[in-house]
C-alpha cells in the first residue's frame, strides 16, 4: 500500500503532470508566438495573452480534476459521453500528433543547427533529436520524463527571467517616438487566432495531462489537493512565462529596423542574433539555451503525450486483444516516424502547416472545452464552484464568439 504524504512533502512528491504540461506548452506558443507578439506589436497584446490564459483555465483544469474525482482518464470520459465525441477527438488527435511532432522537431533542429559550431543538415539533426527523445522516454518511461521535465522547467524559468531582467535594464530598443502597427485590424486576425490557438497549449493537452496524472498515480498516491496544486503551479507558470516572452520581444525587437521574420525557426534565430547585437555577444549562448530548452522539452512531452492518448484510444476501441509492453513503444515510434516523414516530404511547407495546426487548435477548442465542461457538470461529482462555473461560461462565450468571427472573416477572404 502506498504511503500518503501530507503537507509540502506530499505536494512536492505529486509534482509532475502539471510540470509536464508546462514543458509541452512553452514551445511554439511561447518562444515563437508570444515573442512575435511583443516584437510586432510591443505591449499591445500582453493583456490579450493574460485574458486567454484566464478564460481557458477551467477547461485545462477539468482534465486533471475529472481524473482525480472519477479515477479514469479524460479520454475515457469522452468515450462515456458518446461515440461521436470520442471519434471526433481521435481523428483530430491523430492529425495533431503528426503535424505537431513534425513542427516541434524541425524548430528544435533549426535552433540546434544555429547553436552548433559545425554544420549538419536539418534532417540529420531531426533524427538526432528524435533519437535522444525516444531513448529518454523508452528507457526511463514516465519517471525519466518526469525528472527531465522538472530540470528543463527549472533551467528555462531561471534563464528566461534573467534574460528579461537584462533586457529591461538595458531599456527598450524602440525609439521614444516610435509608433508601431496595430494588431486590431482584420489583416491581423489570422495572427491573433494562431496566437490564441496554442495559448497556453492545444486543448488536447488537457486529455494528455489526465493520462500523465494516471501514470503518476501508479507510482505515488496523489490526493485531489495535491493534484490541483501541481496543475495550478504548471498552468500559471506557463502564463507567467508567456508574459516574459512578450516582454523579450517588446524590449529587444519591437521598433528595430530589421524586419521581423514570421517563420518559427527563422524568428527564433533572429531573436538570438538581435540579443547579441543589443545586449552583447555574450548573451547569445544564454538566449540560445532558452530557445533550445523550450523546444527540446516541448518535443519530448509532445512525443510522450500524444502517444499516450493514441494508446488509450486504441484500448477503448478494443484494438488490443491483450496487454503487452510493446503497445506504447510501437505507437510512439509510429508517431515519431510519421512526423519525420512529414518533414522529409513536406519540408518547405512545415511553416504553413504549423500555422494551420495552431489555427485548427483554436477552431476545435470550443468543442472540447464544452465537452470537458459538460463532463464535469454531469454525474454524481460535479465538483464545480459558482466562480469556476461562471468563468467556464465566459470562456465558452469568448471561444465560440472569436471562432465565428474568424470563420466569417476567412470565408469573406475566400
In terms of average pLDDT, the best of 26-40, 112-126, 391-405 is 391-405
Q: What is the DSSP string of 384-406?
A: --HHHHHHHHHHHHHHHHHHHHH
pLDDT-derived band of residue 333, with 50, 70 and 90 as boundaries? Answer: very high
Q: Which of 56-65, 147-156, 225-234 has the lowest mean pLDDT?
A: 147-156
Are 62 and 209 in contact by the 8 Å Cβ rule? The answer is: no
**11 found inside a domain:** no
Inform me whether the pLDDT recorded for 304 exceeds 90: no
The pLDDT assigned to 127 comes to 92
Q: What is the pLDDT of residues 168-212, one digit of tens each?
A: 888 777 777 777 888 888 778 878 887 887 788 778 888 888 888
**121 found inside a domain:** yes
Are 375 and 66 in contact by the 8 Å Cβ rule? The answer is: yes
Inform me whether the pLDDT recorded for 285 exceeds 60: yes
249 vs 155, residue with greater confidence: 249
Cβ neighbours around 69 below 10 Å, total: 17
Burial class (CB in 10 A: 0-12, 13-18, 19+), 412: exposed
The pLDDT assigned to 129 comes to 93
Inform me whether the pLDDT recorded for 325 exceeds 50: yes
Size of the chain in residues: 414
CA distance 200 to 197: 8
The pLDDT assigned to 191 comes to 82
Q: Which of 46-55, 86-95, 319-328, 383-392 has the lowest mean pLDDT?
A: 319-328
> Could you identify the residue written with the cell 503487452?
324
**5 found inside a domain:** no
**15 found inside a domain:** no
Longest alpha-carbon distance in the chain: 69
Percent of residues, the chain, with pLDDT higher than 70: 85
**8 found inside a domain:** no
Inform me whether the pLDDT recorded for 41 exceeds 70: yes
142 vs 296, residue with greater confidence: 296
State mean pLDDT over 307-333: 82
Inform me whether the pLDDT recorded for 40 exceeds 60: yes
Q: What is the pLDDT of residues 118-159, one digit of tens each?
A: 778 888 889 999 999 998 888 876 666 666 777 777 777 787
Per-residue burial over 210-239, b if 16 or more Cβ lie within 10 Å, else e, is: bbbbbbbbeeeebeeebbbbbbebbbbbbb
Q: Which of 105-114, 144-153, 298-307 has the lowest mean pLDDT?
A: 144-153
Nearest to 236 by CA among 155, 142, 157, 119: 157
The pLDDT assigned to 6 comes to 52
Are 153 and 16 in contact by the 8 Å Cβ rule? The answer is: no
**206 found inside a domain:** yes
391 vs 408, residue with greater confidence: 391
Q: What is the pLDDT of residues 64-104, one digit of tens each?
A: 888 888 888 899 999 988 888 899 888 888 888 888 888 88
The pLDDT assigned to 393 comes to 94
**9 found inside a domain:** no
Which uninterrupted H or E stretch holds 330? Answer: helix 327-345
pLDDT-derived band of residue 279, with 50, 70 and 90 as boundaries? Answer: low
pLDDT-derived band of residue 2, with 50, 70 and 90 as boundaries? Answer: very low
Output phi, psi for 397, to 5 deg: -60, -45
pLDDT-derived band of residue 12, with 50, 70 and 90 as boundaries? Answer: low
The pLDDT assigned to 353 comes to 65
Inform me whether the pLDDT recorded for 8 exceeds 60: no
The pLDDT assigned to 335 comes to 94
CA distance 45 to 37: 7
**What global pTM score does this model have?**
0.84
The pLDDT assigned to 251 comes to 87
Inform me whether the pLDDT recorded for 5 exceeds 50: no
Q: What is the pLDDT of residues 340-379, one digit of tens each?
A: 998 888 766 666 766 676 677 777 888 888 988 988 887 6
**16 found inside a domain:** no
The pLDDT assigned to 13 comes to 54
The pLDDT assigned to 324 comes to 66
H helix intervals, 253-319: 264-278, 283-316
Four-CA torsion 306, 308, 312, 315, nearest 10 degrees:
110
The pLDDT assigned to 265 comes to 63
The pLDDT assigned to 351 comes to 64
CATH of the domain at 123: 1.20.1740.10
Cβ neighbours around 139 below 10 Å, total: 8
Domain residues for the domain of 112 are 22-413
Nearest to 283 by CA among 164, 112, 107, 175: 164
Inform me whether the pLDDT recorded for 290 exceeds 80: no
Mean pLDDT of the chain: 80
- Structural Rg of the chain based on CA atoms: 21
Inform me whether the pLDDT recorded for 10 exceeds 60: no
How many independent structural domains does the chain possess?
A: 1
Amino acid at each position: 500500500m502506498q504511503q500518503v504524504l501530507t503537507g509540502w512533502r506530499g505536494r512536492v512528491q505529486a509534482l509532475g503532470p502539471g510540470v509536464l504540461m508546462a514543458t509541452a506548452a512553452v514551445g511554439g506558443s511561447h518562444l515563437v508566438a508570444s515573442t512575435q507578439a511583443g516584437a510586432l506589436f510591443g505591449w499591445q497584446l500582453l493583456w490579450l495573452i493574460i485574458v486567454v490564459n484566464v478564460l481557458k483555465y477551467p477547461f485545462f483544469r477539468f482534465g486533471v480534476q475529472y481524473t482525480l474525482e472519477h479515477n479514469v482518464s479524460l479520454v475515457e470520459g469522452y468515450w462515456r459521453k458518446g461515440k461521436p465525441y470520442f471519434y471526433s477527438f481521435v481523428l483530430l488527435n491523430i492529425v495533431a500528433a503528426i503535424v505537431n511532432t513534425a513542427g516541434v522537431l524541425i524548430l528544435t533542429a533549426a535552433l540546434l543547427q544555429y547553436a552548433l559550431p559545425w554544420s549538419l543538415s536539418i534532417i540529420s539533426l531531426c533524427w538526432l533529436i528524435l533519437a535522444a527523445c525516444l531513448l529518454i522516454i523508452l528507457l526511463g518511461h514516465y519517471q525519466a520524463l518526469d525528472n527531465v521535465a522538472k530540470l528543463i522547467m527549472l533551467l528555462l524559468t531561471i534563464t528566461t527571467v534573467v534574460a528579461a531582467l537584462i533586457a529591461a535594464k538595458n531599456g527598450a530598443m524602440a525609439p521614444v517616438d516610435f509608433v508601431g502597427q496595430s494588431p486590431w485590424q482584420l489583416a491581423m486576425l489570422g495572427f491573433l487566432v494562431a496566437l490564441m490557438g496554442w495559448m497556453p497549449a492545444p486543448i488536447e493537452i488537457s486529455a494528455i495531462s489526465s493520462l500523465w496524472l494516471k501514470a503518476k498515480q501508479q507510482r505515488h498516491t496523489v490526493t485531489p489537493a495535491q493534484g490541483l496544486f501541481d496543475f495550478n503551479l504548471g498552468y500559471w507558470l506557463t502564463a507567467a512565462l508567456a508574459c516574459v516572452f512578450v516582454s523579450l520581444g517588446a524590449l529587444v525587437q519591437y521598433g528595430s529596423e530589421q524586419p521581423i521574420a514570421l517563420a518559427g525557426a527563422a524568428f527564433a534565430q533572429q531573436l538570438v542574433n538581435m540579443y547579441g547585437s543589443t545586449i552583447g555577444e555574450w548573451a547569445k549562448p544564454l538566449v540560445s539555451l532558452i530557445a533550445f530548452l523550450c523546444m527540446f522539452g516541448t518535443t519530448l512531452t509532445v512525443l510522450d503525450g500524444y502517444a499516450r492518448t493514441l494508446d488509450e484510444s486504441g484500448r477503448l476501441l478494443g484494438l488490443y486483444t491483450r496487454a503487452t509492453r510493446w503497445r506504447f513503444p510501437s505507437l510512439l515510434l509510429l508517431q515519431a516516424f510519421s512526423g519525420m516523414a512529414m518533414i522529409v516530404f513536406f519540408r518547405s511547407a512545415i511553416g504553413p502547416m504549423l500555422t494551420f495546426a495552431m489555427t485548427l487548435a483554436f477552431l476545435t477548442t470550443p468543442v472540447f472545452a464544452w465537452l470537458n465542461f459538460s463532463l464535469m457538470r454531469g454525474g454524481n461529482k460535479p465538483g464545480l464552484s459558482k466562480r469556476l462555473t461562471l468563468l467556464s461560461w465566459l470562456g465558452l462565450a469568448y471561444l465560440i464568439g472569436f471562432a465565428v468571427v474568424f470563420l466569417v472573416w476567412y470565408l469573406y477572404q475566400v
